[in-house]
């Protein structure tokens, strides 16, 4: 796989890009935005389902709100909650809050009421700005906290003068909440220069300009939507708003064509869902740039997408985070041959230095897995009202007081060519029976099979509490493959310890509001028997029934058929130890560990136990019994007899 270092794209030569002047990256959002307004006031700035505003109109609406906020709250920086639909007034409200020297948190009515209250409890806003659709809920949430200001776009008769406040790049721009691993809200506090730097970087990398139509698909409660907004508005492009949560992926493809979207941004899970929903003949003629970030991206995603995007289109896999912004990019043009199953995070970008650290904070060399740390002057301020966590994750730089070091909690590996491989969260690296397993590596193999629209692997405890891998699969077609067939294909590519024990088939993966796979919402695997090529056969006697009960309790499967293969039910060496120990305890016979792998069905194991209990049977009798029990061919019978003979010799030697 090859990719050039991140340089400006030349695929949009007539974009009319408004270049950044020296020092402008360190300035405020308002300064850059108002410069764009002066440059091209009649350019379409934002288009939503109900509005189409030029830059002049958008600035006019933002200024009106800013003047109202200043009249009520004064000039002191303070938090303001914005509670608007996914429409153009949301953009004006965010800009208006920022222009009044305040900083915003966007609320989303689709969030659980308990989550909204938790965010407001932590934020302690001085004001809630609400559109008419959310005014009742906003007033309910504001009770006893703060006032609510209704925001309704006004005509030209109201004052729309730019506020003359001294705004700096060091001022806070917004707070973006994530639940984190604890489930409690965690607000990332970002300043204005961090946002301007990212818009400048994307200007340099992608030539974003007035000819571009930039999508914004997800809730403004998350940083990705804000980044889409500023990518467009600080570079003179048109921001086009589509609410995936409301309208779904089915309407997204048509909208992309209708709005002539040239620049898309979405997480890989949403991208995957879009690509698999397309008819074979669908082509996106207008899209020149697709930015993918937030999750692991697979080779299969790009190969399938290439069928639907024009030859000049570029895919950019970007490694980015709320706390540190963009740090690496892997650019994929249509003519690049992809060889790796997982698309790497890419080459480090300007103004960000990437380190890999071990558990003792020692810097690692090439091809070593470690935690990604980012050294830069363009990092988030920290976590709102969480001083200890901020001090734990944002470290001072002993060599340069203007820079800090952020510990990301993400795992990576630096290749010798300087390309960073993203390996997921530290907590996604799990140990299975003592082996370290990268979940993304297992997911990549599942994608390579070409059978599934999407695949996610997660660790879950088995009945004894030991971790096992559960694969959640969205089939590309019906009928779904049988588990034994699937295991046979995976066995050619995965070692035993990386093999999922359970396969769960879903119609679709649950997604977060940002369009990522929602791993916390994945259903727990049940105890039902998996779909196998071999039909279910019930126990015919007490011995087989007892074995079925022992297997079922150890494997967490019910019912267990006497012809079901131990491995196809999720069996492994650790479970074999437990089952053989229990069988020996119940039946008072010596059962070597290898027995479950040589004789992997209850029907065979029952014959073995019966032989051991009754002093043995002749090979002729065993041959006949096997044919009656399983209807095996002569060749298969010979193979099974060889296994029995090995077991018999083992017992005799003992």
pLDDT of 292 over the 90 cut: yes
* Nearest CA among 234, 300, 230, 312 for reference residue 265: 230
Contact 331, 3 (CB under 8 A): yes
Cα dist from 549 to 115, 415, 565, 578, whole Å: 44, 50, 15, 13
Domain that holds residue 551: 542-653
The pLDDT of residue 627: 53
> Which residues have C-beta within 8 Å of that of residue 628, sequence separation ≥ 6?
none
Look at residue 222 and tell me whether its pLDDT is greater than 70: yes
Length of the chain counted residue by residue: 654
Is the residue at 20 inside a domain?
no
The pTM score is: 0.75
**Whole-number percent of the chain with pLDDT over 90:** 44
Gap between the Cα atoms of 295 and 410, Å rounded:
11
Helix residue spans in 160-262 (DSSP H): 192-206, 223-233, 244-247, 252-258
Question: Is 6 a member of any domain?
Answer: no
Top-ranked range on mean pLDDT: pick from 18-32, 85-99, 434-448:
85-99
Q: Which residue has better confidence, 634 or 604?
A: 604
The mean predicted confidence, pLDDT, of the chain is 85
CATH number of the structural domain spanning residue 492: 3.30.300.30
Least confident of 151-160, 171-180, 320-329: 151-160
Confidence band of 478 (pLDDT split at 50, 70, 90): confident
| Contact predicate 129/103, CB 8 Å | no
DSSP-derived secondary structure for 36-63: HHHH-TTSEEEE-SS-EEEHHHHHHHHH
Quote the tokens at residue 650: 């083992």
Q: Is residue 19 part of a domain?
A: no
* Edge-to-edge order in the sheet of strand 127-130: 147-150, 127-130, 79-83, 103-106, 172-178, 186-191, 382-383
Same domain? 408 vs 451? no
| 282 and 403 share one domain | yes
Asked if residue 7 is part of any domain, the answer here is no
Q: What is the CA radius of gyration of the chain?
A: 30
Q: Token pair 């997921």 is at which residue?
A: 424
Looking at the chain, the whole-number percentage of residues with pLDDT higher than 70 is 88
Which range is most confident: 333-337, 379-383, 490-494, 586-590? 379-383
- The set of residues, in sequence order, having a beta carbon less than 8 Å from that of 13 and lying 6+ positions away, is 207
**Confidence bin at 554 (pLDDT 50/70/90):** confident
Q: What is the pLDDT of residues 228-239, one digit of tens each?
A: 999 999 999 999
- Out of 371, 395, 422, pick the residue that ends a domain: 422
- Same domain assignment for residues 516 and 560: no
Alpha-carbon distance 197 to 209, whole Å? Answer: 16
- Same-domain check for residues 503 and 550: no
Confidence (pLDDT) at 526: 83
Mark whether 550 and 508 lie in a shared domain. no
Tokens of 27: 């300035």
What pLDDT was estimated at residue 427? 67
Would you say residue 133 lies in a domain? yes
Q: Are residues 324 and 469 in the same domain?
A: no
Any domain includes 106: yes
CA pair distance 416, 124, nearest whole angstrom? 48
Same domain, 478 and 389: no
For the stretch 168-210, pLDDT in tens is 999 999 999 875 444 466 899 999 999 999 999 998 899 999 9
Alpha carbon 526 to chain centroid, angstroms: 24
**Is 633 buried (19+), middle (13-18) or exposed (0-12) by CB count in 10 A?**
exposed
Residue 628: pLDDT over 60: no
CA distance 430 to 432: 6
Q: Which of 1-5, 113-117, 156-160, 304-308 has the highest mean pLDDT?
A: 304-308
Q: Between β-strands 452-461 and 467-475, what pairing exists: parallel, antiparallel or unpaired?
A: antiparallel
500 close to 470: Cβ distance less than 8 angstroms:
yes
Give residue 641's pLDDT.
56
Strand 52-54 with 79-83, pairing = unpaired
| pLDDT confidence of residue 242 | 94
CA 411 and chain centroid, separation: 14
Cα–Cα distance between 9 and 281 in angstroms, integer?
28
User: Same domain, yes or no, for 363 and 442?
Assistant: no
* Closest to 458 (Cα-Cα) out of 421, 511, 501: 501
Same domain, 264 and 360: yes
Domain end residue (candidates: 521, 556, 576): 521
Domain end point (choices 369, 387, 422): 422
Task: Give yes or no: residues 416 and 448 share one domain.
Answer: no
pLDDT for 243-287, tens place per residue? 988 888 889 999 999 999 999 999 888 898 898 888 888 899 999
Q: How many CB atoms lie within 10 A of CB 7?
A: 9
Across the range 456-464, mean pLDDT stands at 83
CA 376 – CA 103 distance, rounded (Å): 23
pLDDT band at 634 (very low <50, low <70, confident <90, very high): low
Kindly list the distances between the CA atom of residue 45 and the CA atoms of 161, 211, 238, 361, in Å, as whole numbers in the listed order: 18, 11, 5, 46
SS (H, E, C) 95-154: HHHHHCCCEEEECCCCCCHHHHHHHHHHHCCCEEEECHHHHHHHHHHHCCCCEEEECCCC
Asked whether residue 148 is assigned to any structural domain, the reply reads yes
The pLDDT tens digits for 399-419 are: 888 899 999 988 889 999 999
CATH (domain of 562): 1.10.1200.10
The mean pLDDT value for 523-545 works out to 87
Q: For residue 5, what pLDDT band results from cuts at 50, 70 and 90? A: very low
Q: What pLDDT shows up at residue 208?
A: 92
Mark whether 131 and 236 lie in a shared domain.
yes
Indicate if the alpha-carbon torsion angle 110, 112, 118, 120 is positive or negative. positive
Q: Phi and psi of 646, rounded to 5°? A: -60, -45
Contact yes or no for 332/317 (Cβ under 8 A): yes
State which of 155-159, 412-416, 577-581 shows the largest mean pLDDT.
Answer: 412-416
Looking at the structure, tell me whether residues 264 and 126 fall in a common domain.
yes
Q: What is the largest CA-CA distance in the chain?
A: 103
Is residue 626's pLDDT more than 70? no
CATH number at 36 reads: 3.40.50.12780
Count of domains forming the chain: 3
Kindly report, residue by residue over 109-119, the tens digit of the pLDDT: 888 888 889 89
């Amino acid at each position: 796989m090859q990719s050039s270092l991140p340089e400006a794209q030349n695929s949009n030569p007539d974009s009319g890009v408004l270049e950044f002047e020296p020092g402008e990256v360190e300035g405020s959002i308002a300064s850059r935005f108002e410069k764009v307004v002066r440059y091209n006031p009649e350019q379409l700035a934002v288009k939503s389902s109900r509005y189409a505003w030029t830059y002049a109109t958008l600035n006019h609406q933002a200024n009106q709100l800013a003047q109202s906020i200043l009249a009520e709250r004064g000039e002191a920086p303070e938090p303001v909650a914005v509670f608007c639909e996914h429409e153009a007034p949301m953009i004006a409200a965010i800009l208006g809050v920022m222009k009044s020297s305040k900083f915003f948190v966007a609320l989303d009515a689709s969030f659980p009421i308990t989550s909204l209250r938790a965010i407001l409890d932590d934020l302690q806003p001085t004001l809630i700005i609400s559109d008419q659709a959310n005014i009742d809920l906003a007033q309910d949430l504001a009770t006893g906290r703060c006032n609510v200001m209704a925001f309704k776009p006004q005509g030209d008769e109201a004052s729309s003068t730019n506020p003359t406040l001294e705004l700096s790049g060091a001022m806070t721009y917004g707070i973006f909440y994530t639940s984190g691993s604890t489930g409690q809200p965690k607000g990332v506090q970002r300043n204005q220069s961090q946002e301007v730097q990212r818009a400048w970087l994307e200007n340099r990398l992608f030539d974003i300009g007035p000819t571009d139509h930039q999508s914004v698909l997800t809730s403004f409660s998350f940083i990705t939507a804000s980044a889409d907004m500023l990518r467009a508005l600080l570079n003179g492009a048109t921001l086009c708003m589509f609410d995936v949560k409301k309208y779904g992926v089915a309407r997204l493809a048509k909208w992309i064509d209708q709005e002539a979207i040239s620049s898309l941004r979405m997480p890989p899970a949403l991208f995957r869902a879009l690509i698999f929903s397309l008819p074979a003949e669908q082509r996106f003629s207008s899209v020149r740039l697709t930015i993918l970030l937030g999750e692991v991206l697979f080779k299969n995603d790009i190969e399938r997408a290439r069928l639907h995007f024009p030859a000049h289109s570029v895919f950019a896999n970007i490694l980015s985070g709320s706390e540190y912004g963009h740090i690496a990019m892997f650019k994929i043009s249509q003519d690049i041959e992809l060889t790796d199953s997982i698309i790497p995070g890419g080459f480090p970008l300007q103004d960000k230095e990437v380190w890999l650290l071990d558990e003792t904070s020692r810097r690692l060399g090439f091809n070593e897995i470690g935690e990604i740390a980012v050294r830069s002057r363009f990092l988030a301020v920290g976590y709102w009202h969480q001083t200890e966590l901020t001090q734990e994750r944002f470290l001072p730089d002993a060599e340069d007081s203007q820079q800090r070091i952020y510990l990301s909690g993400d795992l990576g590996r630096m290749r010798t060519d300087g390309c960073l491989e993203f390996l997921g969260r530290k907590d996604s690296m799990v140990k299975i029976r003592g082996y370290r397993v990268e979940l993304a590596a297992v997911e990549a193999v599942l994608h390579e099979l070409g059978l599934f629209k999407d695949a996610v692997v997660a660790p879950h405890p088995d009945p004894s509490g030991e971790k096992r891998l559960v694969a959640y699969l969205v089939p590309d077609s019906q009928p779904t493959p049988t588990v034994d067939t699937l295991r046979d294909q995976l066995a050619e590519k995965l070692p035993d310890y990386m093999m999922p024990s359970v396969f769960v088939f879903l119609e679709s993966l649950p997604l977060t509001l940002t369009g990522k796979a929602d791993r916390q919402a994945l259903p727990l695997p049940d105890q039902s028997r998996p779909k196998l090529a071999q039909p279910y056969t019930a126990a015919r006697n007490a011995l087989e029934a007892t074995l079925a009960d022992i297997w079922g309790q150890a494997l967490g499967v019910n019912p267990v058929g006497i012809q079901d293969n131990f491995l196809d039910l999720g069996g492994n060496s650790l479970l074999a130890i437990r089952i053989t120990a229990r069988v020996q305890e119940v039946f008072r016979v010596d059962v070597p560990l290898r027995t479950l792998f040589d004789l992997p069905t209850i029907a065979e194991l029952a014959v073995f136990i019966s032989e051991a209990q009754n002093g043995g049977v002749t090979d002729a009798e065993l041959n006949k019994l096997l044919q009656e029990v399983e209807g095996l061919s002569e060749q298969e019978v010979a193979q099974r007899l060889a296994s029995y003979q090995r077991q018999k010799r083992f017992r005799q030697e003992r």
